[in-house]
Amino acid sequence: MRYPWFRLAIFVASACFPAWWLYEAAMQLLGPDPGKILVDRLGLGGLVFLLIALAMTPLQRITGWAGWIVSRRQLGLWSFAYIALHLTAYLVFILGLDFAQLALELRKRPYIIVGALAFLGLLVLAVTSNRYSQRRLGARWKTLHKLTYAILALGLLHFLWIVRSDLAEWSIYAGVGLVLMLLRVPAVARRIKRARTRSPQVS
């Protein structure tokens, strides 16, 4: 396994946040509505991991260090794990596992449908992120994994729908997402590659 310490550090750091938040909730340190705080933190965490996973390819292109790419799959899986927990926290703390309320909830909070579509996309990517699926799907695997961009757009739309007029925080995430997309435009990616081949390599 390449870069084991880097991978381990990512694993430990990523696992620590939800564990710490659960501890805070158990110790009643999250204020009067801990369920809502957990839902929000996990949702934001999932979005952040998605952005970090998307940053790995441009970082590898810019620095030449292969460790970024090696971590991409783990980071994508963490995004899925955070969003799965986000959904679980929503079902338990906000819906109170009262599934009869779901139809009413979807009418009251249509942004949940957008979030659910993004979650389904993340599920597809998580299930097909292994080497076996990569081998079986061949060239189609890359096409399928372009779904990440649609997931990011849906996640940002879900977030925008929630914050509505308070755009300051949302704009930061949307701005980072936009820059990451721009760095993938072939002409930009080629420029980065050319610039790097002119400068000393990092192994």
Site of interaction with ligand HEM (CB under 6 A): 39-40, 43-44, 46-47, 50, 83, 86-87, 90, 94, 112, 115-116, 118-119, 155, 158-159, 162
Using the structure block, give the residue that is written with the tokens 């957008």. Answer: 114
Residue number, 14 or 61, with CB nearest to ligand HEM? 14
**DSSP 3-state of 165:** coil
Cα 24 to chain centroid, rounded: 23
d(CA 32, CA 23): 15
- Report residue 142 as tokens: 């890359």
d(CA 81, CA 107): 26
Beta strand residue intervals within the chain, DSSP E: none
Write the single-letter amino acid at 187.
A
Least Å distance between CB 120 and ligand HEM? 8
Least Å distance between CB 176 and ligand HEM? 13
Least Å distance between CB 6 and ligand HEM? 24
Handedness of CA 158, 173, 167, 92 (dihedral sign): positive
Residue number, 47 or 56, with CB nearest to ligand HEM? 47
Least Å distance between CB 84 and ligand HEM? 9
Least Å distance between CB 133 and ligand HEM? 21
Residue number, 26 or 120, with CB nearest to ligand HEM? 120
Residue number, 61 or 158, with CB nearest to ligand HEM? 158
Residue number, 56 or 61, with CB nearest to ligand HEM? 56
**DSSP 3-state of 199:** coil
